[in-house]
Chain A
Amino acid sequence: MTRLEKTFKQNKKNKILVTYTVAGDPSLSTSKKILNDLISSGADILEIGVPFSDPMSEGPVIQKAHERALKKNIEFQNILEICNEIRSKNNNVPIVLMGYMNSFLSLGKSLSNKLFKAGVDGIIVVDLPYDESKFFFQNLRKKNIDLIRLISPTTDPKRLKQMLASSSGYLYYVSLKGITGAKLKNFAEVKNKVKSIKKLTNLPVVVGFGIKDAKTAKKMAAFSDGVVVGTKIIDFIEKKSIKKISNFTKLLKKAIN
């Protein structure tokens, strides 16, 4: 059983809290500290952003996080080291790298080997839709690394069925048409969509984009398997109030369960 499978199985009655931060933001050492704080305050899965020069799907807050990390000259090697360090102390928490195609392409054919050695459990490639993903999917399967699929409000049922045939780990439902940190407008639509996805698959479905407070997280968790929170955590980093992250995380965790 993979770490992701274990996480969802052991917490069957509980909802999963997924956090997103960017590797190397605001610096290599502080970003490590933040990740450790997130684990101890209740994060169940760590999504770690791979900073990219052209983060096309991000809103202004996460864009700046990518820029801050790149200013500190964070390289892919550093990110793998961060994963390794977490793994050396904690063999349970799943680590999912989230980024853009060109970053993962730079690892070449040894993609799955390098990720596996660093203790990475899955990756999310924002600009790699199902149609283009065959090579990555097969390469990652060799090491049981999950290619986490993003499903959007515009994904039609026929396409969804095709995607589900080659999905593993969990599904990430993007709650809105837009960029990260945008304003979430239509709860009922999200609820209906998530329910319709769950009818077609046994894979866990987590909801992300636009979840900025405990109240929204609670609402979303009521009909899904968990929530992803990113922009709000990074907002604390931008405002130099890193100390508030732990409390916020605890609050989220409490609210969804």
Chain B
Amino acid sequence: AVTAGGAGAAPRGCPNAPLDPDHLYNVLFVGDSHVGKTSFLYRLHADTFNPHLAATVGLDYQIKNLVVDNKRFALRLWDSAGQERYRSMTKQFFRKADGVVLMYDITSAYSFSDVRYWLSCIQEAAEDGVAILLLGNKTDCADERQVPTKEGECLAKEHQLMFYECSAASGHNVFESMVSFIRLLKVREDELKSKAEEAPKPPQKKKGCCW
């Protein structure tokens, strides 16, 4: 018999993790093949580095519960295959996402130059005002760095993205970037809510025909 459980269980190191979250966000991870999307998610989930992860095929997902600013957040984190031909499949999902984490590898100039391509995909397919986090992964490989921090910062500024450099291998900035991103997602949610309230209600149709 099949038993449920696992994905929704409280992760380690987060004893107060909620079962009933106050806020729930869909976050999609995109970026070129082998930049470290799955490793980042693994670090977030298990707080260790797993160098033996298989290449992601299609789409995969996991749930992460976090408490930030005394509020309980549940993130549905969607991991996607980075290879070019899978992008058309990933695109279908942009519409569902509240936030997108766009990852590149600081040791690969190529993966950084593809960031613009990914941004155009997001702009084309996602809802307006979707929160985007630009993440430069693999800061532990400082000797092989090809993308200066400045360049990431500039690109983020140009497109108004949140920006971090991180390392799934060392754990550097993994939780920090996610916590900041959650705060941004919360702000965006509040903005959307107040916009919806401000929006003028459609005029009520007159009832009856003999008025």
Do the two chains belong together in a single complex? no
Residues of B within 8 A of A (CB): none
